[in-house]
A and B are shown apart, each in its own frame.
Chain A
Amino acid sequence: MAAENTDIELRLLLDAIYLKYHYDFREYAAASLKRRLTNAPGRFGCETLSQLQHKVLYEPAAFAALLSLLTVPVSEMFRDPSYFRSLREKVIPILRTYPSLKIWVAGCSTGEEVYSLAILLREEELLERTLIYATDINPQSLQKAAAGVYAVDRIAGFTENHRKSGGRASLSDYYTAAYGRAVFDKSFKRHIVFSDHSLATDSVFAEVQLVSCRNVLIYFNGDLQNRAVGLFRDALCRKGFLGIGMKESLKFSPHGQSFVELVQGDRIFQKGNEP
C-alpha cells in the first residue's frame, strides 16, 4: 500500500516538476530516483512526497535544492585513468586529422571530466582547434564547472589519476592552489562552452567528433538511454567517437549497431559507416 502510494507520489512529483520547471526526470531509472528521494521529504520538512511536491510547486528555491538531490554530481578528474589513456592512444591520433574539433561532454556535472579532457587535449596540442561543449541539467553544477575550482585535498587523487592516464606534464602546471582550493587555468575556458542541456528533452545542437558521457546513462531508464544514445549518434560525425561509463553498455540499445566498440575495456565506441 505504502509502496504503491510512493510510486504514485513519485510519478506525480516528477510530472509536477516537468510541468512546472521543464526538467524531465520521468524517464530516469525509477530505482535510483526512489533511493535518492527516500529521505528527501524529511530534508524539506515534509512527510510525504506529495507534500514535497506541493512545496516544490510553490517554492522555486526548494526545487533548486531538490534538483541537486535528483542529479548525482559525483566525479573526479581523469576518473578511470585507463579510459583517458585509451583516448590518448587510440582516439587522439584520429582526431588529429580533423581541421577543427568539437567535443561534447554530456552530463558534465561539476566539470572534472571537462577539464580532464581539456588538459589531455592541451597535452596533445589539440586544444587550440577544439571546442568542448559541456552540458548538464543542473545549473548549480554547471556554475561550479564553469568556475573550475576544486578542494585542494582532491588534487592528490586527481594527480595520481592524471599520471596513470599517461599525463605528459605535471597536473600542477594547470592549476593554482591557494586557501585550500585549486583553480584550473582560465585559458581552458576559451575552449569550453558550458550550457544547460537536457538529454531528456533537448535535441542535437552541433556536429561533434567525440561525445563523452560517462556514468550518466546509468541514471536513465531504457527509453531515455535510447534517446540519449540516439542524440549522440546524430551529433557524431561519421566515424566519430563515443565514450561511456565503465558500467554502461550499448549492447541493449537499438542504436547499438550504429557503433563499433573501439576499446573493449574502456567503453569507447566508434560510429560506424551505416547511420
Chain B
Amino acid sequence: MAQSSTAPDLGYFHGAHLGPPLPIGTLVAFSVAVLAIVLVACLSYGALEGSADSARRVTHTLEVGEQLRALLSTLQDAETGQRGFLLTGHEDYLVPYTNARAALAGEFKAAHALIDGSGEQQRRLDSLERVASAKMEELGETVALRRAGDAAGALAIVRTNRGKEAMERARATIAEMQREERGALAARQADWLNAARISSIVVLGGSGLLLVLVAVAAVRSSRDYRERQTQAWIRTGQMGLSARIQGEQRLEMLGDNVLTYLADYLHAQVGTVFVAESGNQLRRIAAYAVPEGTQHLTVQLGEGSVGQAAKENRVLHVRDVPANYLDIGSSLGRAKPLELVAAPATADGIVHAVVELGFFRRLLPADLDLLARVSASLGVALRASKDRTRLEELLAETQRQGEELQAQQEELRVSNEELEVQAVALKESQSQLEAQQTELEQTNAQLEGQAQVLEQQKDDLFHAQAGLVERATELQRANQYKSEFLANMSHELRTPLNSSLILAKILADNKGGNLTDEQIKFAQTISSAGNDLLAIINDILDLSKVEAGKVELTIGPVVVATIADDLSKAFEPVAHQKGLRFSAVVDSGTPEKIETDRQRLSQILKNLLSNALKFTEKGKVTLQISPANHKSVAFTVRDTGIGISAHQQGIIFEAFRQADGSTHRKYGGTGLGLTISRDLARLLGGDISVKSTPGEGSAFTLTLPIVPADAPGARTADSGAASAPDSLLHPDSPAVAETPAARITLARPALEDDRERLAPDSPLILIVEDDPAFASILRDLVREMNFQCVVTHSAGDGKAAAFLYRPKAILLDMNLPDHSGLSLLDQLKRDPKTRHIPVHVVSVADYTHEALAMGALGYALKPVRRDQLVEALQRLEAKFSQSRRHVLIVEDDERQRDSITKLLENGDVQITAVQNAREALAQLRMSTFDCVVMDLNLPDFSGYELLQQMAETGEVSFPPVIVYTGRSLTADEEQTLRRFSKSIIIKDARSPERLLDEVTLFLHQVESQLPVERQLMLKAARDREATLDGRRILVVEDDVRNIFALTSLLEPKGAKIEIARNGREAIDMLTRSMSDPARAIDLVLMDVMMPEMDGITATREIRKRADWRKLPIIALTAKAMRDDQERCLAAGANDYIAKPLDVERLLSLLRVWMPK
C-alpha cells in the first residue's frame, strides 16, 4: 500500500515538465467552471451596460428639467428686481435684476449643452430664448425709464402687458419642455428594468453552475487530504520509530523504546515485545503496562497470537478478546483490552521479534498499516541490536577472560614475588639456621672434644694427683728418712771422723818425733781431708735443717764493726797466704748495731768470703759494709776472681749446682754454701744478690734489715722461703717494664707492705715516711681503713713508687733522707701523670703554707693523734673516690659557654669554662682535665694555635679534645684538626646530643691512657729513622683516618708529609714541587680508591712525565686480589701494600724504595 501511494508522487516529480498540470477530471471541471464564469460575466456585462445607459438617460432628463427650472427662476429674479426698483427707485432693489441679466446667457448655454441633439427640445429652447430676451428687453426699458425718472412711463410700459405675456409664454414653453423630458424618462426607465432582469437571470444560472463545480472539487480535495493525513501519520510514526531505534542500543533498551513509542503513538494500553531466539522460542524483552508476574516470559513459535504472528510472519489482529484474557490496571481501576494486535518484525524474511499491543479502542486499518510498515525497520534494528548484544556479550566475555588472565598474571606475579621474598627469607633463615647448626655442631664437636680432653686431663690429674700424693708421702717419708738418715749418718760419720781427725792431728803433731816429713804431710792431708769431709757433712746437715725448717734463729744486737773485725781476722791470713789483698770496710752512715742472728750472719759472710777467696787467683777480696737504705745494711763481698757469666748467676744459688762443672773440679766444694747462705739470709729478712762479670770478678751483696720485720724467732722459715723469690722477681714483671720511670729501682722498705699482692679493687695509698715506726703505724691505719699501702722511706723511692703504682693518694713526710718532702710534692704536682693524686702531708716541720700552695690537700703536724690521721685519710679518700671529672670548656661566646656547661653539668663532672686560649693554657698548666671542649674561634688566638701550643708544651697535659664549632670546615682544616682531636662536632640541632656522647666517652676512658699515647706520638721526634729523616713523602689519600695514621707514623721518624686528597691534587702538588728543589718529593704513597682521579689513573699520569719516571710510588690498596695489585704495578707503581697497613712492612718498603 505504501508503495502504491508513493509511486505516482515519484512519477509526478519526474514528469513535471511533460504531463498535464492537473489530473484530467480536475482540469475538465476547472474548464467548465471557467466557461460558465465567462458566460455569466458576459451576460451580466450586457445587462449592466443597458441599465447604466438607462440610468444615464434618466439623469440627463432630470438635469434638463433642473436647468429649465433654473432658467425660469432667473427670469423671475430679474422681474422681481425690476419691480422693486420701479416701486422704490432705490438702486438696491435692482441687484437681482442685474445678477439675472448676467447669469441668463450662461443658463442658456448650459441648457443648450444638455439638450444638444434633440431636435424638438432644441427648437423649444430656441423659442424660450427668444421669449426670455424679449422679456429682458422690456425690463431693461422700464429700468432705464425709472432711472431717468420717468416712473410713469415705466409704469406705462408695464401696463402694456408686454412683459406679462412674455413671461407667460416662457412659462408655457418650459412646462412643455419638461413634459417632453418626463416622457423620455419613463421610456428610458422601462428599458433599464428590462436589462436588469436579463442580467439577474444570467447571474443566477452561472452561480448555480459554479456551485456544482465547487461541490465536486471539495469532495475530491477532502478525500485526498484524508488519505494524505493517514499517510503522514504513518510516516511520522515510522520516522518517530526510526528515531527511537537509532543508535547502538541493547536489545532490552531497544524493545522498551519501541514498545513505549508504539504504545504511545498508537494509544495502546498494553504491550510486549518478544524477540525470536534459537530453538523456535520467543523471549519477552520488554513490556508496557503489563501487570507483573502473570505473563509468559517465553512463548513457542506458533503458541498464542505472538507465536502465530511470528510463525506466519504477518500482522495478527484479534478483535474479540476473551473475557478473562488480561486485566489492564491502573491505580484507579482495571479493564480488559478490546482488541489485540501482534505484529512481527522482519528482516530479510526472518522474524526477529513480535510486538503485541492491546487496545481499548477499535483498531483502524492505518494502525495495522503502520504496524505492517515498521516491521522491516524494526526487524533490521532488532537484528542489529541482537547482533550487537551478542557481540557485546562476546566482547564482555573476552574482556572478562582478559581480566581473568590479567588477574591470574597479577596473582602469579604477586605469589612469585612473595615466593621470592619467602625464598629469600627462607634461604636466609635457612642459611642462618644452617650456619647456626654448623656452628652448633662444630661447637658441639669441639665441646665434646674438649670434654674428652678435660675428662682425660681430669683423669690424668687424678692420676697425677694420686701420684703426687703418693710421691709427696714418699717424699715426705724419704725426706724424713733423709733427715733421719742424715742426722744418723752425720752422727755416725762424725764419730769415726772425729776419731780419725783427732788421730790424724796427733799423728801430724808428731809428738813422738818418729815420723818422717812425708808421713807428717800424709797425716796433715788426712786431717785436712777429714776437716773438709766434716765441713761437707755440716753443710748437708745445715741445708737439710734449713730446708726442713728446723733452723732456730737467735736474734740479738750485733755490732757491725765486730763482725768486720772478726772476719778480717779470720780471712786476712788466708788471703795473705794466697797472695791476695783483703780488706773489710765499714762505711760511714752504717748503723752501729743491727738486730740479727750473729752466728748465721757470720756463717753467710764466711761462706761468701771463702768462696771469694776460693775463686780468686790474684787481686783482692773486700768486704764492704754500708747502709743499703735507711732500713737495711748491705754487706758486699767483692773479688777479682773468675766471675760468673750472666746465665749462670741464676743457678749458683741452687742447691747441688755450681756455675760450671769444671769449676767444681778445679776448686772443689759442695756447692751448697751459696744455697745455704741465701736461705739463711732470707730467714734473716734479707737477701743475697750477685753482680758479676766473667773474668773480672763478682760482688755478692747480703742485705739485711737493721731490724727484722717480724718478731724475732716467731717467723718460721716457711714464709720466708715462699715470699722471698717473689720479691726478687717483682722488678722484672711486665707491668713495671712499661713505664720508663719504673726502671728506677725501688728499695725494699724496712717494713712489709702490700706491693707484692696488690688487688685492683682496693685503693692504694702511698706512704712516704722515713721513720719505720711511724710508717708502720700509718701502714696499720691505712690497712685498717681497707686500703692497700706501699711504704717508701725516701723521696726518690716515693716518686718512683708514685709513677709505678699510681696510688690513689699519698701520705707524705717532709723530712726525708734524700730530698725534702716539698721537692717531692713539687715534682709530683708538675708531672701531668701524677698531678691529680691528692697528697696529705704529715710532718714535724711546719711547711703548711708552702705545701698547701703547691697543691697538698692537707697538712698535719707531728705529733699527730690517731683521729687526726683518720681524718686525713678520710679527706684523701673523699678526694680520690669522688668520680668527678674535669672538663675544660673553651668558648668565647658567653651564652654558648653557659649552655655547654649546662649540658655537661652533672654531679660527676666539674666544669671549668674559659673564654680564650690564654686562660685555657693557664688552666691546663694548673690542673688536669679529662676532656677539653673547644671552639675554634677564640678572641686571642685560634683554636688551631691553642692545640699547637698544647702539643708543643710538654708541661701542659694533653687531654682528649673535642672541637665544637659552628663553622663548616674545609678539608684542610679538618685534616689539621684531626691530628689533635679525634672528635669534631659541627654545631647543629642534634650536636648537643653528640657532644654529650663524646664527652661521656672520653670521661670514662682509662685515665691518662690517651694523653700518653698522644704525647708519645706528638713528641716522639727522638725516634727518627735515618732513612726517613728529612725526606718528603707525598701521601695521596682521601681518608682522614688513614692520613692521620700515616702522618703520625711517619712524621715522628723525621719524614715531611705532604698530603693530596686525590690524584689530581697529587699531580698538582708534584708539579709545584718541581719548581722548588727544597720541596722535592722523594716518594709517593698512593691510595687507589679516591674521588675525582683514582690512584691507578694518577700513577699512569705521573709516569707519563719524564721527570717523574723514577719517582718511587707505592700503591695503597684495600683489595687483596692479585690482579688488582698487578694493575697497580702495570700502571707504574713500584710496589704496593694492602690495607690495613702493616707498619713494619710499610717501613721496610719505604726503606727499600727510598734509599738514603
Using CB atoms and an 8 Å cutoff, list the residues of chain A in contact with chain B.
Answer: 21-22, 29, 31-32, 93-94, 96-100, 102, 129, 131, 133, 190-193, 195-198, 201-207, 218, 221-223, 238-239, 247-249, 252, 273
Judged by a CB distance under 8 angstroms, whether B1123 is at the interface is yes
Contact code string B1127-1153 (vs A, CB < 8 Å = 1, else 0): 000000000001110000000000000
Of all chain A residues, which has the CB nearest B428?
A218
Cα–Cα distance between A202 and B1124 once the two chains are bound (Å): 10
Judged by a CB distance under 8 angstroms, whether B551 is at the interface is no
Judged by a CB distance under 8 angstroms, whether B164 is at the interface is no
Interface size on B, residues (CB 8 A): 51
Judged by a CB distance under 8 angstroms, whether B1089 is at the interface is yes
Judged by a CB distance under 8 angstroms, whether B1042 is at the interface is yes
Contact with B1089, one of A192, A193, A201 (Cβ below 8 angstroms): A193
What's the nearest-Cβ distance from chain A to residue B295, in Å? 57
What's the nearest-Cβ distance from chain A to residue B423, in Å? 8
Residue contacts A-B, CB under 8 angstroms, 14 given: A22-B1123, A22-B1124, A31-B431, A93-B990, A94-B994, A129-B968, A197-B1118, A201-B1119, A203-B1118, A203-B1119, A203-B1138, A203-B1140, A206-B1039, A252-B435
Cα–Cα distance between A252 and B436 once the two chains are bound (Å): 8
What's the nearest-Cβ distance from chain A to residue B778, in Å? 41
Contact code string B426-451 (vs A, CB < 8 Å = 1, else 0): 01101110111011000000000000
Cα–Cα distance between A9 and B997 once the two chains are bound (Å): 53
Contacts of A223 in B (CB 8 A): 435
Contact with B1039, one of A32, A94, A102, A252 (Cβ below 8 angstroms): A102
Contacts of A190 in B (CB 8 A): 1091-1092
Whether A202 lies near B985 (C-beta < 8 A) is: no
Judged by a CB distance under 8 angstroms, whether B1021 is at the interface is no
What's the nearest-Cβ distance from chain A to residue B877, in Å? 30
Contacts of B435 in A (CB 8 A): 221-223, 252
Whether A94 lies near B993 (C-beta < 8 A) is: yes
Contacts of A102 in B (CB 8 A): 1039
Judged by a CB distance under 8 angstroms, whether B407 is at the interface is no
What's the nearest-Cβ distance from chain B to residue A58, in Å? 17
Contacts of B1094 in A (CB 8 A): 193, 195
Contacts of A239 in B (CB 8 A): 994, 997
Contact with A97, one of B430, B991, B1039, B1041 (Cβ below 8 angstroms): B991
Contacts of A29 in B (CB 8 A): 427-428, 431
Contact code string B1038-1051 (vs A, CB < 8 Å = 1, else 0): 11111000000000
What's the nearest-Cβ distance from chain B to residue A88, in Å? 13
Whether A201 lies near B1120 (C-beta < 8 A) is: yes
Cα–Cα distance between A248 and B1124 once the two chains are bound (Å): 30
Of all chain B residues, which has the CB nearest A97?
B991
Contacts of A207 in B (CB 8 A): 1039-1042
Whether B990 lies near A96 (C-beta < 8 A) is: yes
Cα–Cα distance between A175 and B315 once the two chains are bound (Å): 75
Contacts of A193 in B (CB 8 A): 1089-1091, 1094
Whether B971 lies near A204 (C-beta < 8 A) is: no
Contacts of A273 in B (CB 8 A): 1001
Contacts of B971 in A (CB 8 A): 100
Q: Are A204 and B1118 CB-contacts (below 8 A) given A31-B427, A31-B431, A247-B421? A: yes
Contact with B974, one of A99, A206, A238, A247 (Cβ below 8 angstroms): A99
Contacts of A22 in B (CB 8 A): 1121-1124
Judged by a CB distance under 8 angstroms, whether B348 is at the interface is no
Contacts of A192 in B (CB 8 A): 1091
- Other A-B pairs, 8, CB within 8 Å; known A98-B986, A207-B1039, A223-B435: A93-B990, A94-B990, A97-B990, A99-B974, A100-B969, A193-B1091, A205-B1139, A206-B1042
Judged by a CB distance under 8 angstroms, whether B737 is at the interface is no
Cα–Cα distance between A249 and B429 once the two chains are bound (Å): 10
Contact with B1118, one of A96, A97, A205 (Cβ below 8 angstroms): A205
Whether B1139 lies near A203 (C-beta < 8 A) is: yes
Most buried by B among A190, A191, A202, A238: A202
Of all chain A residues, which has the CB nearest B1041?
A207
What's the nearest-Cβ distance from chain A to residue B1040, in Å? 7
Cα–Cα distance between A247 and B969 once the two chains are bound (Å): 38
8 closest A-B pairs by beta carbon, nearest first, are A222-B435, A205-B1118, A206-B1039, A22-B1121, A207-B1041, A97-B991, A93-B990, A99-B969
Judged by a CB distance under 8 angstroms, whether B120 is at the interface is no
Of all chain B residues, which has the CB nearest A24?
B1121
Judged by a CB distance under 8 angstroms, whether B984 is at the interface is yes
Contacts of A202 in B (CB 8 A): 1118-1121
Judged by a CB distance under 8 angstroms, whether B728 is at the interface is no
Most buried by A among B421, B427, B1092, B1123: B427
Of all chain A residues, which has the CB nearest B1087?
A205
Of all chain B residues, which has the CB nearest A193?
B1091
Q: Are A99 and B1089 CB-contacts (below 8 A) given A202-B1121, A239-B997? A: no
Whether B427 lies near A204 (C-beta < 8 A) is: no
Cα–Cα distance between A231 and B435 once the two chains are bound (Å): 19
Whether B985 lies near A97 (C-beta < 8 A) is: yes
Cα–Cα distance between A198 and B1089 once the two chains are bound (Å): 13
Cα–Cα distance between A90 and B430 once the two chains are bound (Å): 32
Contacts of A218 in B (CB 8 A): 424, 427-428
Cα–Cα distance between A50 and B968 once the two chains are bound (Å): 58
Of all chain A residues, which has the CB nearest B974?
A99
Cα–Cα distance between A191 and B428 once the two chains are bound (Å): 34
Judged by a CB distance under 8 angstroms, whether B988 is at the interface is yes
Whether B431 lies near A222 (C-beta < 8 A) is: yes
Contacts of B993 in A (CB 8 A): 94
Contacts of B969 in A (CB 8 A): 99-100
Judged by a CB distance under 8 angstroms, whether B323 is at the interface is no
Contacts of B1120 in A (CB 8 A): 201-203
What's the nearest-Cβ distance from chain A to residue B1117, in Å? 8
Of all chain B residues, which has the CB nearest A131?
B1091
Whether B1089 lies near A96 (C-beta < 8 A) is: no
What's the nearest-Cβ distance from chain A to residue B1119, in Å? 4
List which B1038-1077 residues lie within 8 A (CB) of chain A: 1038-1042
Cα–Cα distance between A184 and B1124 once the two chains are bound (Å): 30
Of all chain A residues, which has the CB nearest B425?
A247
Whether B968 lies near A99 (C-beta < 8 A) is: yes
Whether B428 lies near A248 (C-beta < 8 A) is: yes
Whether B427 lies near A96 (C-beta < 8 A) is: no
Contact with B1140, one of A32, A96, A196, A204 (Cβ below 8 angstroms): A204
Contacts of B1090 in A (CB 8 A): 193
Judged by a CB distance under 8 angstroms, whether B989 is at the interface is yes
Contact with B988, one of A96, A196, A201 (Cβ below 8 angstroms): A96
Cα–Cα distance between A190 and B988 once the two chains are bound (Å): 25
Of all chain B residues, which has the CB nearest A223?
B435
Contacts of A99 in B (CB 8 A): 968-969, 973-974, 984, 986
Q: Are A222 and B434 CB-contacts (below 8 A) given A99-B968, A195-B1089, A203-B1139? A: yes
Contact code string B964-1000 (vs A, CB < 8 Å = 1, else 0): 0000110101100000000011111111011001000
Whether A252 lies near B432 (C-beta < 8 A) is: yes
What's the nearest-Cβ distance from chain B to residue A33, in Å? 10
What's the nearest-Cβ distance from chain A to residue B903, in Å? 14
Cα–Cα distance between A97 and B968 once the two chains are bound (Å): 10
Cα–Cα distance between A106 and B968 once the two chains are bound (Å): 28
Of all chain A residues, which has the CB nearest B965?
A99
What's the nearest-Cβ distance from chain B to residue A17, in Å? 12
What's the nearest-Cβ distance from chain A to residue B830, in Å? 34
Cα–Cα distance between A197 and B1040 once the two chains are bound (Å): 20
Most buried by B among A29, A191, A197: A29
Cα–Cα distance between A247 and B1094 once the two chains are bound (Å): 34
Contact code string B238-281 (vs A, CB < 8 Å = 1, else 0): 00000000000000000000000000000000000000000000
Of all chain B residues, which has the CB nearest A207?
B1041
What's the nearest-Cβ distance from chain B to residue A87, in Å? 14
Contacts of A196 in B (CB 8 A): 1119, 1124
Whether B431 lies near A221 (C-beta < 8 A) is: yes
What's the nearest-Cβ distance from chain A to residue B1065, in Å? 14
Most buried by B among A29, A198, A201, A206: A206
